Every structure is written in C-alpha cells, then in structure tokens.
Amino acid sequence: MVQEHHSLKLLLVAGMAGLLTGCPAPGSRPSAPSQPYVNPSSAPSPSSSGSAAPRVSPPQPLPPSAAPPVRENHLSPATRALVAQAHTLIAKGDLDAASATLDRALRIEPNNPLLWVERGRLRLAENDAHQAEGCGRKALALASGDRGAERQAGRLLADALRAQQRNQEAHAVESQPYMN
C-alpha cells in the first residue's frame, strides 16, 4: 500500500513536470506536429515534381487600418495632482518646493515625457537652461510616437537652446517633422 502510494506520487510529479516543460503526461497520446502555414498560391501544383519542399510565405505587412494606434501619454491621477500642486507653488514663487514636488512625480512615473517637460519648464524659470535642455532631450526620447508630447518636448528644447544663445540648433529642432 505504501509502495503503491509512492508510485502514484511519482506519477503525479512526473505529470506535473511534463506540463511545466511541455512534455506529454505518461499515458497521454502525443498530438500531431503542427505544420507551417503554406500560402496556397505559393504551394507547388500537383503537376510539379513531388520532391520540392513547400515554400512558407513571408509575413505580410498590416494594412493601414490595422496599424497600431498613435501613442498618447497621460498623467496618472497621482502625478496630475502633484503637477497641479507644483503649478500652485510656482505661482507663489516657491520654486524649490515646486521642484521637490515634480521630483516626487518623476519617482512615480520616471518614463513619462510630460513630467520631464514640466521639470524642464521649471528649470528654465530657475534660469538653468543646461538642465532644461537635458530635460527636453529626455522628454523627446521618451515621447516617441506621441506627437503632442514630442511637440512639447521640442518646444522646451528649442527654448532651452535659445536661452543658451544656440539659435541655429533651436531652429533645427523647430524644423523637425514632429514640430509641425
């Protein structure tokens, strides 16, 4: 009886291990191997020699209507509240507290380009154009695919470059496709 229980336990463990590794359970029938999709128009015709291997068609591009939608960044409720609080602090002239508040928001959503734009605008208000430029570049890198965020990041970057008397670079940023 103990040996029977031990054998049943081993069989159960083997079956579970098989499920985890993709192996069939003991006593189960193996499934038929899956065949690659063959495009009927590229399959050899019955009149052709039977020795040719079937050709697998390459993946077809998605039609324009099935293309993924354009990405759009949003602030979460928590970061939205922190940005509103930072704007209130800026209006009161407390730029240090506003900066600390935006830093809290960035700890929550470090990859949100809208927060980097907010931080860069604050750095411009603090007359730190180099930091504002860095924030603009970071926001632009994170905003790929979001035309609105790209435009805001580009505007920040151009303003930061102009504040550093780098007008040609600012003009080059403004001539980018995402700025139109």
Q: What is the pLDDT of residues 114-164, one digit of tens each?
A: 999 999 999 999 999 999 999 999 999 999 889 999 999 999 999 999 999
Q: Give the domain 77-179 fold.
A: 1.25.40
The CA radius of gyration of the chain, in Å to the nearest whole number, is: 30
d(CA 87, CA 99): 10
Task: Name the region of 165 (left: φ>0; alpha: ψ -120 to 50; beta: rest).
Answer: left
Q: What is the pLDDT of residues 31-73, one digit of tens each?
A: 444 444 444 444 455 554 455 555 655 555 555 555 545 678 9
Helix (H, G, I), strand (E, B) or coil at 144: coil
Task: Name the region of 128 (left: φ>0; alpha: ψ -120 to 50; beta: rest).
Answer: beta
Q: What is the pLDDT of residues 16-27, one digit of tens each?
A: 444 333 444 444
